[in-house]
């Protein structure tokens, strides 16, 4: 199936569960003019005490909490979806959002949900990807910005950034260096999708030519 991005998304909905360092990087890219025409419409957390939510409050951004603990996933996701729609969100960005999305959620934003993962997918999906990579003895590592589908860390790859694994690295230092790349990569990935100049062909995210094909 081929899907073309005809209408560039501009209003972002950020979902986070923790400190939201990638959210801060996105906000910084917008403030510095590296994401022209893009704005953060709302920041949503499933954890009331999430530090990223406090940062959103300090930045004066619209923010909401929908605590997920003890709730059925479908009910929780329905509330989040209603909030995103109320804020007229075009593109959803997961920024350390520690939940799997329901099929209904994904269907509401087809190819309009982005995630960033601290490995070169499809290698090392899931939790502790940096530790997995270090333990495996890889010589290069990095991060992946991808579209979200119904499978864990599986959707179409938008871009990847690669770094060498140094002899002096341990899992912690590797994770810190990958995080620095994430902060650059996520803004680049959003810019690619927001440009409207790309299309999905199978599992490939490709640039359209001058004729729009």
Establish whether 117 is a catalytic residue. Answer: yes
Q: Cα Rg for the chain, rounded, in angstroms?
A: 17
Cβ neighbours of 194 (radius 10 Å): 20
In the numeric block, the tokens 């995210």 are attached to 205
At 141, is the secondary structure helix, strand, or coil? strand
C-alpha closest to that of 118 among 132, 98, 100, 136 = 132
Looking at the chain, which runs of residues are DSSP E strands?
2-4, 11-16, 39-45, 63-65, 91-94, 113-117, 140-147, 157-164, 198-201, 204-207
Query: Which member of 63, 76, 117, 146 is catalytic?
Result: 117
C-alpha closest to that of 119 among 103, 110, 108, 132 = 132
Catalytic residues: 117
């Amino acid at each position: 199936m081929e899907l073309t991005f005809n209408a560039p998304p501009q209003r972002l909905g950020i979902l986070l569960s923790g400190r939201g360092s990638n959210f801060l990087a996105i906000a910084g890219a917008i403030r510095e003019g590296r994401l022209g025409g893009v704005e953060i419409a709302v920041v949503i957390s499933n954890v009331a005490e999430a530090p990223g939510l406090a940062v959103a409050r300090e930045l004066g951004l619209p923010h909401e909490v929908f605590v997920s603990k003890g709730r059925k996933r479908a009910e929780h996701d329905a509330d989040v979806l209603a909030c995103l729609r109320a804020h007229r969100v075009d593109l959803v960005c997961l920024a350390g959002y520690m939940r799997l999305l329901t099929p209904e959620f994904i269907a509401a934003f087809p190819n309009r949900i982005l995630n960033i993962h601290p490995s070169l997918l499809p290698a090392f999906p899931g939790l502790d990807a940096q530790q997995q990579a270090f333990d495996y003895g890889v010589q290069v590592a990095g991060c992946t910005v991808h579209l979200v589908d119904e499978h864990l860390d599986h959707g179409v790859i938008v871009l990847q950034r690669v770094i060498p694994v140094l002899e002096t690295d341990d899992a912690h230092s590797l994770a810190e260096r990958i995080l620095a790349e994430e902060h650059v990569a996520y803004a680049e990935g959003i810019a690619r999708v927001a440009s409207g100049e790309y299309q999905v062909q199978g599992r490939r995210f490709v640039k359209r030519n001058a004729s729009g094909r």
